[in-house]
Amino acid sequence: MMGISVGIAAVGGGILVILLIASIIGAILARTARSERGRATVANLNARVRAWWLMCIVVFAAVIAGPTTTTILFALLSFLALREFITLTPTRRSDHHTLFWAFFVVVPLQYWFVAMPWFGMLSIFIPVWVFLFVSIRGTLSGDHRDYLERTAKIQWGLMICVYCVSHIPALLSLEIPGYAGRNAELVLFLVAVAQLSDVFQYVWGKLLGRRKIAPHLSPNKTWEGFIGGVATATGVGAALWWMTPFTPTVAAGMALGITLMGFAGGIVMSAIKRDAGVKDFGATIAGHGGILDRIDSLCFSAPVLFHLVRFYYTP
Amino acid sequence: MIASLIRLVTGAQARWIGCIPEARQRIYFANHASNLDGPTIWASLPDALRARTRPIAARDYWDAGPLRRRLAKDVFHAVLISRAKITAENNPMRDMEAALAEGASLILFPEGTRTVDDDAGMNPFKPGLWHLAKRHPEVQLVPVHLENLNRILPKGEILLVPLLAAVTFGEPIALGEAEDKQAFLERARAAVAALSAAADA
């Protein structure tokens, strides 16, 4: 139904060029790196670039294939992210049935509401209905040990991995006057700005990083990386205004919001990982840690962008 | 194909930290918390080794119903043993030794049954492993630790929760010259338990 619009083609072309350049630089560095540490860094960089290729191809294929495919793709991502999240958070045997509901009922239902689309329900299903359900189901097992902690872990896993992520495909259903049929470009705008912000923060941090922002939570994050990354990604967002329903100034503001929320998402996820005693959520994508490590910045920015657009841009 | 399916469902990742996957005769012994334990270790072995490795499994579970029987016999090539009273013609050791004599490697759960409690450690090991070690000194004994399978399919449940499992293969142990049964079984159990901490590191 969507097909390839000019905006999607342009962004796709841009990302293709960036990835090609990254692959070429990676190949050159792999030949020239001498020291042991240099080699390790380059190997890690190249693994990241390969994972980027894979993720970009999958996301573009889904966006081009249409809203239904995109929604299914994100439902799958939610499922896998939840799997990583719950694996790392200790639950008890008595949570088994609640977890079964979470994976096989909550995830499909939430994405069903997204596909319909039923905005009222997708906004409250998990925070109201599922929050209550999880707490009730948890009591049925009769196990009261760590009750509040166990319940909160499952509720937060669903909140981050399912509720937040589902707002990305939900953007496809917003009826924005004068923007009909182009919503996929808004999804690409969000994904591109959030992910580029991660990349720019990594690059600026590697180049200039000195002062650590949160040494206890995320030792690799520095003020230099943060400011450089946010500024660059905001600039890129403003430059991409033509693919959004926004003016260039609003696009810059939205991009700033996306990058700040993305940064906050990364810090929150680091806190959760530190609490569980691990560095990465899994090893599903080579070089990237888990899926959750990749989409943590999207988790927090997607609902914010969704509600801002819904509030200000839909009748 | 079944092996890929099991790896997909359990997300099992094999970690060889104490030995490498080698084509030699071995007994893999592991902690036991789920009916998926045997199939998961079996599925996490490389193809060439998997074809020559047989899980030891309880007859009362795997011989009940045509699907389980079919899986146990034709897919996992399990050695089914009886957990009921042991008699001369119904001795589980005989079937295990017959499989070893054919050159197969074995997957064994020396606890004998699945652990249920979240907080309790492993059950004490039964003496079968010691008998096998004594009579077949040429077979390498590899401790294996399974993580999270008790959360994927705990005892008494039929609903799967698709979490990520981990399979850790440790350093082989051998029966000492004058080591008595109890000491050896305790050492074997400790070797599996130690991998739990190693897996977390």
DSSP secondary structure string for all residues of B62-118? HTSSHHHHHIIIIIS--EEE--S---GGG-HHHHHHHHHHTT-EEEE-TT-S----S
Which pLDDT band, with edges at 50, 70 and 90, does B122 fall under? confident
CB contact (8 A) between residue A83 and residue B148? no
Q: Name which CATH class applies to B2-200.
A: alpha beta
Per-residue pLDDT of B4-21, as tens digits, reads: 888 888 888 788 888 888
Q: What confidence score (pLDDT) does residue B197 get?
A: 62
Is A93–B154 a contact, with Cβ atoms under 8 angstroms apart? yes
Chain A residues touching B199 at Cβ < 8 A = none
The helix or strand, by DSSP H or E, that contains position A229, with its residue range, turns out to be helix A223-239
Please tell me the predicted confidence (pLDDT) of residue B14. Answer: 83
Total count of residues recorded for chain A: 315
C-alpha span between B108 and B79 (Å, rounded): 10
**ipTM at complex level:** 0.83
B144, B41 Cβ separation under 8 angstroms: yes
Contact (CB<8Å) B159/A93: no
User: Is the CB of B113 inside 8 Å of chain A's CB atoms?
Assistant: no
CB-neighbour burial class of residue B48 (10 A; exposed 0-12, middle 13-18, buried 19+): exposed
Determine the pLDDT at residue A1: 42
Chain B, 152 to 171: residues with Cβ < 8 Å from chain A are 154, 157, 159-164
B interface test, pick of A93, A99, A107 with most B CB neighbours within 10 Å: A93
Longest dimension (CA), chain B: 46
Work out the widest C-alpha separation in chain A, in whole angstroms.
Answer: 62
Cα Rg of chain A (Å, integer): 20
Q: How far is B118 from chain A (nearest CA, A)?
A: 7
Phi/psi of residue B45, nearest 5 degrees? -80, 150
Beta-carbon separation of A86 and B118 below 8 A:
no
Query: H helices then E strands: how many in chain B?
Result: 9, 7
Residue B69 Cα distances to B35, B54, B104, angstroms: 14, 15, 20
CB–CB contact A96 B11 (8 Å): no
Q: Minimal Cα–Cα distance from B15 to chain A, Å?
A: 13
Chain A residues in contact with chain B using a Cβ-Cβ cutoff of 8 Å: 79, 83-84, 86-87, 91-93, 96-97, 99-100, 103, 277, 282-283
What would the two tokens of residue B116 be?
């249920």
Q: How far is B104 from chain A (nearest CA, A)?
A: 32
What type of residue sits at position B63?
D
**Which of B8, B10, B147, B151 to mutate against chain A (most A CBs within 10 Å)?**
B151
- Statement: residue B199 has pLDDT above 60: no
- Give the pLDDT of residue A45: 77
| Nearest alpha carbon to residue A8 among A72, A83, A71, A63 | A63
- Look up residue A104 and give its two tokens: 């096989």
Which of A53-62, B69-78, B121-130, B173-182 is predicted least confidently?
A: A53-62
Looking at beta carbons, which residues of chain A come within 8 Å of B163?
A: 83, 86-87
For residue A83, which residues of chain B lie inside 8 Å, CB to CB? Answer: 11, 162-164
How buried is A293 (Cβ within 10 angstroms: 0-12 exposed, 13-18 middle, 19+ buried)?
A: buried
Q: Do B161 and A93 touch (CB under 8 A)?
A: no
Quick one: pLDDT at residue B119? 65
**CA neighbor of A259 nearest in space, from A309, A189, A185, A156:** A189
Retrieve residue A308's tokens.
């801002």
Residues of chain A in contact with residue B167, where contact means CB-CB under 8 angstroms, are none
Of A100, A282, A283, the CB nearest to B161: A100
Query: Which amino acid does the sequence have at B187?
Result: R
| Band of residue B85 on the pLDDT scale cut at 50, 70, 90 | low
Q: Is the pLDDT of residue B58 over 70?
A: yes
DSSP A127: I
Q: Which residues contact A124 (CB under 8 A, 6 or more apart)?
A: none
- Residues with Cβ within 8 Å of B38's Cβ and at least 6 positions away in sequence, in order, are B55, B56, B57, B76, B78, B107, B109
- Closest to A189 measured CA to CA, from A88, A265, A257: A257
Identify the closest residue of chain B to A276 by CA–CA distance. Answer: B200
Q: Which residue among B11, B157, B159 places its CB closest to the CB of A83?
A: B11
d(CA B41, CA B56): 12
Contact A86/B163, CB-based, under 8 Å? yes
pLDDT of residue A2: 47
The 10 Å Cβ neighbour count of residue A256 is 19
Nearest CA distance, A94 vs chain B (angstrom): 9
Residues of A in contact with B161 (CB under 8 A): 86, 96, 99-100, 103
Contact A293, A280 (CB under 8 A): yes
Listed as ranges, residues in chain A with pLDDT below 50 are: 1-2, 285-286
**CB-based contact A96 B157, cutoff 8 Å:** yes
Predicted pLDDT of residue B201? 45
The phi, psi pair for A141, rounded to 5°, reads -75, -15
Contact A91 B151 (CB under 8 A): yes
Q: Residue B70 half-sphere exposure, CB side, CA atoms within 13 Å?
A: 4
